[in-house]
Amino acid sequence: TAAQNEITTETLAELADRVRETHKTLYGKPPEFVVAAPGRVNLIGEHVDYNDGFVLPMAIERYIVMAGSRPDDDNEAQSQFHSISMDSSCRLSSKDSPGNDPTAPGWACYVQGVLAVFEQSVRQAPALNVSFDSTVPLGGGLSSSAALEVATATLLEAATATTLDMREKALICQKAEHVYAGVPCGIMDQFSSVFGKAGELMLLDCRSQEITAVPFGSDDVVLLITNSNVKHELNGGEYAERRSQCDAALKKIGKSTWRDVCMDDVKAARDQLSEPEYKRARHVVGEIQRTTQAADAISAGRWDEVGELMYASHDSLSGDFEVSCPELDLLVDLARDIDSEGGVIGSRMTGGGFGGCTVTLVKKDSAQSLMDALMSRYKAETSIEPSCFTSRPALGAHILSAS
């Protein structure tokens, strides 16, 4: 289950071994291709990837591993996908229309979308028997869907002996999510899962799609991910609504990109903007600025400043962008409160919002005591069991050995 996933200590190597073994049992022969794609956490720069902004994510040490083999029957036209932890299967072909089969498992649209977009824009893929499993918490705002898309694209690369341009690969996955899952997401999640590098945050300019590495390997600072265990779902309409409010605000402000908008422009346009549009605009302009500032501050080791920017980002997402929820606010408030006792650098919600996770930076020596305090106080106030883990920046999608 998702809850078991969150507290797992299973490493990528162990997960891959388990998937290889299960594949053999399921399909009667060992896999020919095995690939991995990670989830991500975003340190700062939220809801600005679809607004030409900057984001500062990293891939996390939580992966989806996918294994594939060709069916014995050469005439088989459909691929079979099986989720090990959810014990659900689906037969798919790139010819299926989006959302065609209402009985298909919830994850099928991501896989099928990538299959279809890959075949439209790259080449025909052979029919495959596929099994997969994951240590990325599901629906936790850590990009379990992007990890599934990127794993599928990587498996198709392996099975067709193709090496895609990394940008093209991320964009294929983003398109699959737009068309087949109906979520008009930005590029952050797919770029993080494709481009992740050990020891580095990536400052991604979502306008030019350029990445600047921001080393984050300090032994003194630990990144903590706390799952509120309140479910996060992006296709509920709120995400698309935020996107169109931003587009409408930009138009009324009279600029073609948010990168040319400053806070004075937002204030000057206040009378033309509805109250929600005004608040969304204030968030976007402030958040783009905070993100580049945070990247500079991390590079210079100015941790107090990084912490202030994280709290300001959270307050803006909660008050102006209205994508937080009481449980995420509580986790950040608890971190802020514990902060006074020392050790906590900063904390904020991460990802799309409406549930999911917070990201907290903490001095290494205080990490364990913070985790304990955060978890017990959250549980006491909400009766929900949270889960907490640390991650270093991890390597993006890659092909593993088949045996």
Give the DSSP letter string of 63-126: EEEEEEE--S-TT--SEEEEETTTTEEEEE-TTSPTT--TTS-TTHHHHHHHHHHHHHHT----
Q: How far apart are CA 266 and CA 288, in angstroms?
A: 14
Tokens of 185: 């997401």
How many other CB atoms are there within 10 angstroms of residue 82's CB atom? 20
The residue ranges that bind ligand GAF (CB under 6 A) are: 46-47, 49-50, 185-186, 188-189, 234, 351-352
| DSSP 8-state secondary structure symbol assigned to residue 49 | G
Closer residue to ligand GAF, CB minimum distance, 42 or 360 = 42
Closer residue to ligand GAF, CB minimum distance, 353 or 393 = 353
189 is catalytic: yes
The answer for residues whose C-beta is within 8 angstroms of residue 205's C-beta and 6 or more apart is 54, 211, 212
Closer residue to ligand GAF, CB minimum distance, 38 or 343 = 38
| Contact indicator for 37, 183 with CB cutoff of 8 Å | no
Q: How far is the CB of 78 from ligand GAF (least distance, A)?
A: 29
Q: How far is the CB of 356 from ligand GAF (least distance, A)?
A: 9
Q: How far is the CB of 22 from ligand GAF (least distance, A)?
A: 29
> What's the angle, vertex CA 228, arms to CA 224 and CA 231, rounded to 5?
130
The catalytic position among 52, 189, 320, 339 is 189
Closer residue to ligand GAF, CB minimum distance, 69 or 350 = 350
Q: How far is the CB of 56 from ligand GAF (least distance, A)?
A: 11
Where are the extended beta strands (E) located within 135-280?
200-205, 210-215, 221-227
> What's the angle, vertex CA 295, arms to CA 292 and CA 299, rounded to 5?
145
Closer residue to ligand GAF, CB minimum distance, 33 or 239 = 239
Q: How far is the CB of 206 from ligand GAF (least distance, A)?
A: 9
Active site residues: 189
